[in-house]
Structure 1
Amino acid sequence: MNILIVTDAWEPQVNGVVRTLKQTRHELTQLGHRVELVTPQDFRTFPCPTYPEIRLSWRPGAKVAQRIETFAPDAIHIATEGPLGMAARRYCIRKRIPFTTAYHSRFPEYVKLRFGIPLGWTYAWLARFHNAAVATMAPTQVVVDDLCARGFTKVVTWTRGVDLTLFKPGTRERLSTRRPIFVYVGRVAVEKNVEAFLELDLPGSKWVCGDGPAAATLRGKYPDVNWLGVLDQRELAEVYNAADVFVFPSRTDTFGLVLLEAMACGCPVAAYPVTGPIDVIGTDGPGALNDDLQRACLDALNIDRVAVRQYAERFSWTAASKQFLGHLHPFTPAAQAELRLAEQGQPG
């Protein structure tokens, strides 16, 4: 089946949306499907206000339409609500082509933090965007229920996975500072609540891996914190292994792939008991959840790393990608016939 994925989030961005889409493309290709992505790399772009690392496509409508028609997809998935996503949505509605969408992050909360726009306004706009789709994929049941309560329709669960061959227990020598070592990995931005971690009074040392619009200010404010910048995934695996606790201070993430990556390396998690951490690690086991983040960090030091790895082994990218595939809505006769044969367990 020819599957077209349209996304405003792509390299050189380093985030969970990009990693999810790259891994999903890999898994779908392994299953025999042809996958093409429409990304900002193929368009003229301009920097996103307050977040220049993110590039937004400039007037992409005609080129998006051309890309769709040239590829001749059997199914279309719109991953983001940016300029490319909106252009693809307009095309599909105009041509009466069914499509799916995804809700990856709590965008309304981010917008309120940055610009003060009321949550209700942004959620209403997002509901209008996504309700034109035949299905909107969200990462956990909690997020599905939340979106339905805010007026979204046809919301389904599309979970996430982790590369257990890349993220696995290994040498713990990457970081050589005083133990215990507490690590944060992710964007350094206001919506990630990184400062809640940096201001904690903890024994040992703290590390931050990542970059973002708040990085320069926080480096100056917390000179005793160690900063590594953006790392590739193999380097991240070394950092997770070296850490004694992975600290996840965000209160707005819908899932948090970094939680799975850390746990796959055997590193216990400290986080707030909110959507994301609760959905990924539960109320006990491979992490410590507490409204007192300092207490969670100290409690996580006592969690067995072998048990943490065993818990992470429950998550599979193959299963997550098959779930994604099942939510797609093929609209060509050949693809629909192939799907019926697959459901009957027959070769296509």
Structure 2
Amino acid sequence: MRILFVTDAWHPQINGVVRTLSTTGTELEALGHAVAFVGPDRFRTFPLPTYPEIRIALTPGRRLLEEVERFQPTAIHIATEGPLGWAARGMCRSRGWRFSTSYHTRFPEYVAERAPVPLSVSYAVLRHFHANSSALMVATNSIERELAERGFANLRRWTRGVDVNQFRPRNDNDEPLFGDVQRPIALYVGRVAVEKNIEAFLEAPFKGSKIVVGDGPQRAELARKYGHVKFLGAQHGDMLARTFAAADVFVFPSKTDTFGLVMLEALASGVPVAAYPVAGPIDVLGGTDVACLDDDLGFAIEQALAIPRDRCRQFALGHSWHASAQQFLANLQPCA
């Protein structure tokens, strides 16, 4: 097949959506399929209000059609509900082409954190966006059940994987990676933004050192407020993998993520997870012995520290990107 992804989340952004899409593309190509991505990098863009690190495509319609005609896809997947996603949806609808979509981000909750927009209104907009999708792909059972209760249809499962070669336990990591810090080390990796609930991690009692990796609109404010915490900025590649492996516990404070790919990356590095018992962590780690999920995040962190690192690694080995890509492929339909 010739599979075209249209996404508002793309490089140079660093987040779980970009990693999921790019890794899925690599796996699909390994299976013999031709893959292309159309992201904001091909258009004139403007910064997203309240989130200038993310740039949004400006009037992408005509240029998007040119990209589609150039690639001649046999299947089209619209990954996000931004300007590119809406333009791609309109293009497919006007030509009678089938397309699939995916739900990566709880936009209604994110919008509600920044503006007085009722959840019912935001979900109505998203329901309209996905209404004509041949397959609305979601990562977990909780999200599938929640969207079904809100009237979304054609729901299909598309789980996530982890690169266990890149993210792995290492013996060359110690305190010098972070400077002079006290063990144990509690790590957060992700966007530094209000919807990630990072302050719950920063406020949680912990007899050790806290490290935050990532960038975002709250970074400067939180770094000033919590001077005892190390904010290392965005990392990727081998440096990020080394940082994961150097931690003693990974803390995932978000209550709005649909999956939480970083949890698998931590586990592949041999690092146990502490999180709230909410959708995402419950779906991925509920009922396992590699994480502690509790409404008291400080308690969860302390309990997770006792989990053996080899047990975490073994759990991650059972979650491959190859299986994820096969699942994605099974959900596709030819666009014409």
Q: Which TM-score applies when normalising by structure 2?
A: 0.97
Change in Cα spacing, 1:2 to 1:284, as seen in structure 2 (3 Å) is closer
Q: Deviations over 1:228-279 (max 9, x none)?
A: 1101131121111111100000000010000000000110000000011111
Distance, in Å, in 2 between the alignment partners of 1:72 and 1:94 is 17
The alignment yields a C-alpha RMSD, in angstroms, of 0.9
2:184 counterpart residue number: 180
What is the correspondence of 1:1-348 to structure 2 with a 5 Å cutoff?
1-171=1-171, 172-173=173-174, 174-176=177-179, 177-332=181-336
- In the alignment, structure 1 segments of 5+ residues that lack a partner are 333-348
Q: 1:188, 1:275 → 2: CA distance?
A: 20
Give the Cα separation in 1 of the matches to 2:191 and 2:183: 24
Native 8 Å contact 1:283 1:289 kept in 2 = no
Q: Percentage identity across aligned positions? A: 54
Counterpart of 2:148, as a letter, is C
Distance in 2 of aligned mates of 1:181 and 1:155: 39
CA distance in 2, matches of 1:233, 1:280: 24
Q: Which amino acid aligns with 2:116?
A: G
Contact preservation (8 Å) 1:124, 1:151: no
Is contact 1:5–1:38 with CA below 8 Å preserved after alignment? yes
Moved >6 Å (runs of 4+): none
Q: Match of 2:221, SS?
A: helix
CA contact (8 A) 1:256 1:276 kept: yes
SS of residue matched to 2:156: strand
Helix, strand or coil: the match of 1:228? strand
> What is the CA–CA distance in structure 2 between the aligned matches of 1:213 and 1:324, rounded to whole Å?
32
CA distance in structure 1 between the partners assigned to 2:161 and 2:141 by the alignment: 15
CA distance in 2, matches of 1:200, 1:293: 6
Aligned partners of 1:287, 1:239: CA distance in 2, in Å?
Answer: 19
Please say if residues 273 and 283 of structure 1, whose CA atoms lie closer than 8 Å, have aligned partners that are also in contact: no
- In the aligned structure 2, how far is the partner of 1:167 from the partner of 1:230? 17
Q: Within 1, Cα distance between the matches of 2:197 and 2:28? A: 34
CA distance in 1, matches of 2:320, 2:41: 29
Which amino acid in the other structure matches residue 147 of structure 1? L
Q: Check conservation: 1:60, 1:87, Cα contact below 8 A.
A: yes
Distance 1:261 1:45 in 2: 31
TM-score normalised per structure 1: 0.94
SS in structure 1 opposite 2:239?
helix
Say whether the 8 Å CA contact 1:168–1:266 is kept in structure 2: yes
CA deviation after TM superposition for structure 1 residue 283, in Å: 3.3
